[in-house]
A and B are shown apart, each in its own frame.
Chain A
Amino acid sequence: SQELEQSPQSLIVQEGKNLTINCTSSKTLYGLYWYKQKYGEGLIFLMMLQKGGEEKSHEKITAKLDEKKQQSSLHITASQPSHAGIYLCGARQTRAGGTSYGKLTFGQGTILTVHP
């Protein structure tokens, strides 16, 4: 099965600082999703990347997909306490139309703490 490795595992930053979270896949990526999770709760969708070189932004969060490196990064500019939580990357491991296409395999998560 596809392995997704996130780095760092945890991150503590001062409010206002920029930060980057990385997600590296051991296999081909057929779609990369970023979610945010508060402890013990469900996952909130942030962004979906499907094409190599694709970059998407929402408010102060930007995600990029490097298909050749099988890697994605999530960058937060001028972090705020509201950004704190667990960030998870999830990947599709089969082509569209393949068996069980649709399910996501997740990384272990990155715990972000933002100090005011």
Chain B
Amino acid sequence: EAGVAQSPRYKIIEKRQSVAFWCNPISGHATLYWYQQILGQGPKLLIQFQNNGVVDDSQLPKDRFSAERLKGVDSTLKIQPAKLEDSAVYLCASSLEFEKLFFGSGTQLSVL
């Protein structure tokens, strides 16, 4: 069974630039999550989708972050403009309803 796919694996940008991350969940998983993990901390939920609808985006900095999940499958997370404090690993996860979360390998973002 294929796992959660994420790209790119690494990204280095300068502050005020924009960046986008892509996630392809496990086939059949209706729920998709984007987490932000700052060095030395646990992952923090940014946004949760159920199919292509947003369930929870209460911790998403909406002035600079946006996410979409077209057709209820792939998802993209965008940051525009990026700040130094956005440097983190961005993790995508998917799950069946009420089941455990499967995580992708993450995208390491460095903002210089």
Contacts and interface: CB of A to CB of B under 8 A. Distances in A.
Given A33-B100, A103-B33, A42 B106 contact: yes
Given A41-B105, A42-B91, A48-B100, A100 B40 contact: no
Given A4-B42, A33-B101, A105-B45, 15 more contacts: A41-B106, A42-B91, A42-B106, A45-B100, A45-B101, A48-B100, A90-B101, A100-B48, A101-B98, A102-B31, A102-B55, A102-B95, A102-B98, A106-B43, A107-B42
Contacts of A33: 100-101
Contacts of B95: 102
Nearest to B104: A42
Interface string B14-58: 000000000000000001010000001111110010100001100
Contact of B48 (A42, A43, A102): A102
Given A41-B105, A42-B104, A108 B48 contact: no
Contacts of A35: 103
Given A41-B106, A42-B103, A102 B43 contact: no
A40 interface: yes
Instruction: Give the secondary structure class of A's interface.
Output: strand
Given A40-B108, A102-B31, A45 B45 contact: no
Contact of B42 (A99, A100, A101, A106): A106
B71 to A, nearest CB: 20
Interface in A72-114: 88, 90, 96, 99-109
Chain B at the A interface: SS class: strand
Contacts of B45: 103-105
B1 interface: no
Contacts of A4: 42
Contacts of A103: 33, 45, 48, 55-56
B41 A109 contact: yes
Contacts of A43: 43, 91, 93, 101, 103
Contacts of A90: 42, 101
Contacts of B67: none
Interface in A21-53: 33, 35, 40-45, 48
